[in-house]
Amino acid sequence: MTGAGRIIRVALAAGLVVLAAASACPAQEQPAAPAPRSAAKPAETRVYTAQQQEIMAALDKLLAEQNYEQLAKTVAALSDGPGITAGLDWGRARTLEGASLVVPLVYAALLWRTAAQNPEYASMRQTSGLMAAYALLVMAADSPKCADKSAPEHQIASILAVYKPLLAAVAKLPEEQRTKITDTALALEKRLAPKRGNDNYLCRFGLQEHIDTAKKFGDAAYTEAPAKPGQVGKQMVLRFDMSYVPKFRPAEQWEPEQAAARARFPELLSTVLNTLGAQAQTGAAKP
């Protein structure tokens, strides 16, 4: 069975689909998307067109439905200036409202893609790195809320794998800029913590969901998928139940664990960035 693989693929899709648009070919070969002309204007004072309002409403609907894969595809499909602006402003606004972990992940990926395709917005790379660092901290801070411990365990590995280019870019910055980004990520996580409620995305895709989905749908819980190269026999994948709601621990149990985790955050970010920086130097030294 490859049910767990299906679950993890859905979890990764939120960022991977968007990042693929920026990494599918070298930056100089990418067809540049029209830049969001009003990107420098504060989102709070921006007047949105009917089309932009529809985009934002659609993203809100997909998020509410837990349709994470389609959310990622919708963001990845944004290609013109007004659409990209709507996507960026939506990601920023929802992140600052304390929305699900999936939002800063998708927002970070869209920032990265926009910067890759529009050199005049290269500074967005630093913002994308900030959002990736913030998402990493949110994962560590809020994972104690999950009743199923297996659910968030893969998240840190997923973030480090899929968002490695974003964090590596931060690692290569001059010390002053790097410190500013990490300090901002630390402050942002702490400031937004009271706004972040129970996060279905963070606490899904674990063993308990696999068990519950199989119990709920019985034989219909699995569908056959085409075998990949090298695989033998039937390949069965677990269906994705958008209505699934994970269980959460009471606050008196997770709050002490969150406080302990937060105390280690400066060390966590430093270790991650130092490791990525060392890897970059090693790679650059190879002939």
Q: Using alpha carbons only, what angle is made at residue 110 by residues 105 and 113, rounded to the nearest 5 degrees? A: 125
Residues 6+ apart with CB under 8 A from 145: 198, 199, 202, 203, 248, 249, 254, 258
Q: Kindly indicate the confidence band of residue 93, based on its pLDDT and cuts at 50, 70 and 90.
A: very high
* Cα distances (angstroms) measured from residue 120 to each of 2, 20, 97, 107, 114: 43, 21, 28, 19, 10
Please, what's the b/e burial string for 121-146 (b: 16 or more CB within 10 A of its CB; e: otherwise)?
beebbbbbbbbbbbbbbbbbbbbbbb
* Cα distances (angstroms) measured from residue 240 to each of 14, 157, 222, 225, 261: 14, 21, 10, 14, 31
- What confidence score (pLDDT) does residue 210 get? 86
- What confidence score (pLDDT) does residue 44 get? 59
- What confidence score (pLDDT) does residue 40 get? 42
- What confidence score (pLDDT) does residue 20 get? 44
Contact predicate 163/105, CB 8 Å: yes
**Residue 25 scores a pLDDT above 60:** no
Q: Kindly indicate the confidence band of residue 42, based on its pLDDT and cuts at 50, 70 and 90.
A: low
* Tokens describing residue 13: 């899709």
Tens of pLDDT along 189-213? 999 999 999 999 999 988 898 889 8
More confident residue, 36 or 166: 166
- The pTM assigned to this predicted structure is 0.82
More confident residue, 268 or 225: 268
Q: Which of 35-44, 117-126, 174-183, 265-274 has the lowest mean pLDDT?
A: 35-44
For residues 229-242, average pLDDT:
77
